[in-house]
């Protein structure tokens, strides 16, 4: 079965010597390797400051804190995402206010965001779902108009671009996940890309119990709530080795995604995702809309191709559904949406098989 997602681990002869060096160095906690990983990741993104963390969820939590969100506030978000996006809002004691999606892309609709804004709105979370960049220009305009910070959840979108610049350069806070099945994995981990230097320094203190690592324990004075959210040297070293090949790896997803786009255009029963101008998806998953999805999934699986909608829409979780809302675009999109594999493990022959099966009908 061709899997929908698959973990990418560097070859043993490259990874293990570096890992053994860390494991037997006598220091496996947050140290020099973490610092190196952060600086290398900044080089890859091409801007901002990297705060490495033990999960993408921790990155979301700290982003909300730095954005000034407090208990009782509201955060506008999308229901089409993995649950951590919205669980993090609840972690801070805030409430989730849904905005409908753009039916052409599956991403949060700028028009719906603007309609959802009210005096309690303190932040907006946008998700580059399946690697597809959001409408950056429109969302930036809304953020500036209402003076509301935007947090970009780019957990699926490492290497995706807008105007030639990678995610991480367009909003004050950009969240990445390095969990097992993402483009880049540190086994578990994440990062928060922060554009403002002062907020970055504050983020470093929040991730380590409210303590400033530049001072001794005796010289520290905790003044804000902190957490144990740091990355360690072991995870960071895995990340450093992964970064050596990341451009090539992400490009494989993109090449496969574009190939499928080209050859599935106009096929009966299939509606392709549209992309906003000047954007390039990282195709973490290949997403399309199909008629009779259940039959489509069965046809794929009977022929050795995994297909799935993967994520449960978040408004179906009672705990996250603070303000039940009608979302007609999401209703239609979610009823047809399906994901197919297009990652580094998918060959051209696999793509051709997928195309052939779809063109045969289901």
Q: What residues act catalytically?
A: 182
**Strand 161-162, strand 165-166: pairing:** antiparallel
The residues, any chain, with a CB within 8 Å of residue 65's CB and separated by 6 or more, are 92, 206
Q: How many Å apart are CA 40 and CA 245, to the nearest integer?
A: 12
Sheet holding 337-340, edge to edge: 270-272, 286-290, 337-340
Strand 74-77 to 95-98 pairing:
parallel
CA atoms of 89 and 11, how far apart (whole Å): 38
Order of strands across the sheet with 49-53?
Answer: 49-53, 190-194, 173-177, 150-153, 121-127, 74-77, 95-98
Unique residue bearing structure tokens 């979370």: 125
- Residue 315, judged by CB atoms within 10 A of its CB (0-12, 13-18, 19+), counts as buried
Distance between CA atoms of 55 and 192, rounded to whole angstroms? 10
Q: What single string gives the DSSP state of each residue in 182-203?
A: SSS--SS-EEEEES-HHHHHHH
The helix (H) or strand (E) run that includes residue 264 is: helix 246-264
- Residue 51: name the closest of 196, 249, 265 by CA: 196
Element housing 19 (H / E): helix 12-23
CA distance 322 to 90: 10
Instruction: Note every long-range contact of 19-28, with CB atoms under 8 Å and residues 24 or more positions apart, other chains counting.
Output: 19/234, 19/237, 19/238, 21/237, 22/233, 22/234, 22/237, 23/234, 25/233, 27/233, 28/232, 28/233, 28/234
């Amino acid at each position: 079965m061709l899997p929908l997602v698959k973990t990418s681990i560097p070859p043993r002869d490259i990874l293990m010597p570096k890992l053994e060096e860390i494991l037997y160095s006598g220091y496996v906690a947050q140290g020099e390797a973490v610092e190196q990983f952060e600086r290398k990741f900044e080089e890859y993104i091409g801007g901002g400051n990297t705060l490495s963390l033990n999960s993408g969820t921790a990155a979301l939590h700290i982003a909300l804190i730095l954005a000034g969100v407090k208990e009782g506030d509201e955060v506008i978000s999308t229901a089409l995402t993995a649950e951590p996006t919205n669980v993090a809002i609840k972690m801070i004691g805030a409430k989730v206010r849904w905005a409908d999606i753009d039916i052409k892309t599956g991403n949060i609709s700028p028009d719906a965001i603007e309609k959802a804004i009210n005096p309690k709105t303190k932040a907006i979370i946008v998700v580059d779902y399946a690697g597809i960049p959001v409408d950056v220009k429109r969302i930036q305009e809304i953020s500036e108009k209402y003076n509301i910070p935007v947090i970009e959840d780019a957990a699926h979108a490492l290497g995706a671009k807008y105007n030639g610049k990678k995610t991480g350069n367009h909003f004050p806070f950009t969240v990445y996940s390095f969990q097992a099945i993402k483009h880049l994995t540190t086994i578990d981990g994440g990062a928060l890309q922060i554009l403002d230097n002062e907020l970055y320094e504050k983020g470093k203190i929040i991730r380590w119990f409210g303590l400033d690592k530049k001072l001794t324990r005796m010289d520290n004075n905790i003044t804000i709530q902190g957490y144990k959210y740091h990355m360690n040297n072991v995870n960071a070293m895995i990340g450093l080795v992964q970064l050596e090949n990341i451009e090539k790896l992400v490009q494989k997803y993109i090449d496969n995604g574009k190939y499928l786009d080209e050859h599935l255009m106009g096929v009966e029963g299939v509606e392709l995702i549209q992309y906003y101008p000047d954007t390039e998806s990282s195709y973490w998953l290949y997403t399309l809309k199909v008629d009779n999805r259940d039959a489509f999934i069965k046809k794929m699986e009977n022929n050795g191709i995994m297909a799935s909608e993967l994520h449960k829409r978040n408004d179906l979780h009672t705990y996250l559904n603070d303000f039940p809302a009608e979302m007609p675009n999401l209703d239609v999109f979610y009823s047809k949406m399906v994901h197919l594999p297009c990652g580094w493990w998918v060959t051209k022959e696999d793509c051709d098989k997928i195309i052939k099966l779809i063109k045969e009908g289901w």
